[in-house]
Structures are given as structure tokens and as C-alpha cells.
Structure 1
Amino acid sequence: MKKTSSVKIKICGLRRLEDIETVNYCRPDYAGFIVNFPKSFRSVTAEELNELTAKLDKNITAVGVFVNAPEELPAQLLNEGIIGMAQLHGQEDEDYIRRLRKLTRKPLIKAFSVKSEDDIKKAVKSSADYILLDQGSGGTGQAFDWTLIREMNRPFFLAGGIGPDNLERAIQEIHPYAVDLSSSVETDRWKNPEKIRRVVDIVRQNK
């Protein structure tokens, strides 16, 4: 597997102005926001998203995370510049991606739940700009079997169960394009500034 020369980091599930202040200080590459998905306690409305991203450092790419949303919603937020990328985290198929591409030219990330090698093969074939490999149970903080990832000929985000204890190993052994962290940088369901600083430091030290 070819090693990524400069691993990027995404902190996901931001929902407060305090979270924005923290990431502006730590400067991860991506900031993720779960949009209009009430089943998640991290969900924000489109209006809240607008307020949060308006305060986000312009060098950090805002990523809207959507779960089976009408394609008009991510397209509107992308085209208005409220977010820079859309992450599709539901059952969105290739037809959905094609419809969304007719509405916007902005980058798309498609998330895949990994439980077998077939899931990896399916992910690799996606027409999205990036793929995200996850354990797939909605923020449980559990990692999937990394040995399922063999030769990857396209950039991917690695998510699910990544934290300070295994982040360096993930970077050195899996060589993802980016790592995606959420629950591991929280305390009592709220983003913890010290934990965010720690993981960003780990990634920067492994560049």
C-alpha cells in the first residue's frame, strides 16, 4: 500500500461556537457537521450550520454530513458556500450521486460500512470524489477490521474507533488520506478541547 505523504485530519460532529473556537486554534484540515439528522445528538439545523461555519477559519474545509437527505439540501448548502464538501452517510446510491452532481460541482464523500472485503470493493467503485470507511453503527466509537483494507488505489477517509491510543498506528499501518474522529474527542457527549488538541498534534507529528 502506498503511503500517504501528508495525512489529513477531520474533526466531526461539531455543534457549538466553543467547538469552532477549538478547531480554529488547532487547525484540523476538515470540520464536520451533521445536518438535519435528529437521531444524532450531534445534529445541527441548516440555520445553526450557517452560524457555525461563518465563524470557521477559512483554511479549514467545512464538511456537511447528510443521512438520506433530499439532494437539494446538500446542493444548496454547497452552492451557497456554507460548506465546502458533502459527506453522504446513509444509503445514498450511484443514482443519488448523479442527481446531486447535476445540482453542484462541489466535492462529495461517500461513507461505507465495512464488514467484509466485498464492502471495500464496493467502496472503491464509488463515483464520489472520496470514500470514507467506517464501522457503520452510527458513532459507536468501534473500529472495523483494518486487515480488510489491502491495496487501495484511491484516497479514503478512515473513521470508526480512532483515538489517541491507536491514531499513530492507523496512520503508519493503514496510510489513509485522512482520519476522521468524533466520539474519541468528546467527554460526556461534548467536544473536549484538550482531546482535540492531542489528536491533531499526533497527526501533525506523523506527517
Structure 2
Amino acid sequence: MTKIKLCGMQREEHIEWANEAGCDYIGFVFAPSRRQISRAVAADLRKRVSSSISVVGVFVDESIEHIARIADEGTIDLIQLHGSEDEVYLQTLRSVCSLPIIKAVCNPHTTVVESSTADYFLLDGAKGGSGKVFDWRQASGYDKPIFLAGGLHAGNLEKAIRTVCPYAVDMSSGLEEHGEKQRHLMLQATAIAHTL
């Protein structure tokens, strides 16, 4: 079974649909984007998340103090870094926060990846939420579990999983129609991932 993260949750119904789908992770985006939510909204939504689902906080070049505050409040279970954060940043973050770290990678097999102490890598086609497909041929040779992201949707999800065999898949724009999350797409994507 492939794990799945449904990212960009913003409203109560999104949490209800994620709980219904039985996904493994959901993502709260704290970085500037159309899916960004505040600490207060995230804390409120967290109370509605099933205990079987882990919550990932998505950040882009955020201050370590801000991430640590959100972590200390119990809003998130994992930290996803989607900016230019380097190994010094990761080590400093680890000194104040013990949550697992997912580091997004758009340029595979760089020296940053080879020396990274991140717990997971997230392979993305471009900036998070862009919908650009990651080059699946570049998804091998990593020494950490990988989340595969970038342009995944119900039409290519099975092929992506069979091709890459990731630890987990991460979807956001592929769960939307006209920029809005859809219940049927969240249920469908989770069902596909969990059968492979």
C-alpha cells in the first residue's frame, strides 16, 4: 500500500473529506500561496483531523522560530520545507524541534540531497502546488523514503506509483476543479494509492 498526502487543506469540509477518504497525511500550507492558512485556522482544523492521519506543515524559507511555535502548539506532526533551506538550517531547526523533516527537491541528485539529514525527500516538478510533473526517471537512487509530488491526478497516479514505487504520493492541484478541493477526487486518489 502506498501512503498518500492530501495537501492544501483549508476548510472544515476538506478535513471531513480527508477523514472519510482515510488518507495517511494532510498538509497545511503556511507559505504564501492561494492555499495558505493562518496558525489559528490550522490549529482549529487540526482538532477535526482523525487520529490516524498525520498533519504536515508546509513552509518556504520560514523563520525557524515560527515553525517551532507551530510545532510546540501541537498543530503539526511533520515539517515540510519547500524553499532553499540548507543543511545548516535543518540542523538549527532540529536543535529546537524534534519533528520529522521532509525536504522538497526539484533538482534531483544535487550535493544538497546527498548530504541532507532530512528524514524524507519530496520530489516535485517545480514550486509546490504548480502542478508541474516531476520527471519520474529521476526518482531513483535516494537513500531516504520519498514522497512523489508534482502534477499527480487520478489519471496518472497509478502509473506514477508503479513507475516510481514511492513511500508516499503528495497531491494538491490534482484534487481540485476550478481551484477548489473536491470530495470525489480526494476519495478516488486515496483509493488508488491504497490499492498499490
**Normalised-by-shorter TM-score class:** over 0.9
Amino acid aligned to 1:61: S
Change (3 A) 1:97 1:200: same
Aligned equivalent of 1:62: 55
Report the alpha carbon displacement of residue 81 of structure 1 after superposing the two structures with TM.
1.4
Aligned equivalent of 1:10: 5
User: After the TM superposition, which of the residue ranges 123-132 and 46-55 deviates more from structure 2?
Assistant: 123-132
Report the alpha carbon displacement of residue 171 of structure 1 after superposing the two structures with TM.
1.1
CA distance in 2, matches of 1:151, 1:95: 23
Aligned equivalent of 1:136: 126
* Stretches of 4+ aligned residues off by more than 6 angstroms: none
Aligned equivalent of 1:103: 96
Amino acid aligned to 1:34: V
* Cα root mean square deviation, aligned: 1.3
Amino acid aligned to 2:144: R
Post-superposition CA distance 1:14-71 (Å, at most 9, x none): 1001101100111110000101x33x11000111110111111111000000111101
**Percent identity over the alignment?**
39
Amino acid aligned to 1:88: L
1:189 aligns with 2:179: yes
1:53 aligns with 2:53: no
1:76 aligns with 2:66: no
Q: In the alignment, is the contact (CA less than 8 A) between 1:133 and 1:157 conserved in 2?
A: yes
Corresponding pairs, count: 196
Report the alpha carbon displacement of residue 187 of structure 1 after superposing the two structures with TM.
1.1
3-state DSSP class of the match of 1:65?
A: strand
Aligned equivalent of 2:80: 87
Q: In the alignment, is the contact (CA less than 8 A) between 2:2 and 2:195 conserved in 1?
A: no
CA distance in 2, matches of 1:163, 1:184: 4
Report the alpha carbon displacement of residue 163 of structure 1 after superposing the two structures with TM.
1.0
TM-score by length of 1: 0.90
1:20-35 alignment, distance < 5 Å = 20-35=15-30
Match of 1:175 among 161, 165, 169: 165
Amino acid aligned to 1:132: L
Q: In the alignment, is the contact (CA less than 8 A) between 1:124 and 1:131 conserved in 2?
A: no
Report the alpha carbon displacement of residue 140 of structure 1 after superposing the two structures with TM.
2.0
Runs (5+) with no aligned partner, structure 1:
1-5
Report the alpha carbon displacement of residue 188 of structure 1 after superposing the two structures with TM.
1.4
Runs (5+) with no aligned partner, structure 2:
none
Post-superposition CA distance 1:146-180 (Å, at most 9, x none): 11223333201100011111111111110111000
Amino acid aligned to 2:185: K
Q: In the alignment, is the contact (CA less than 8 A) between 1:10 and 1:179 conserved in 2?
A: yes
Aligned equivalent of 1:3: none
CA distance in 2, matches of 1:151, 1:113: 15
Amino acid aligned to 1:179: V
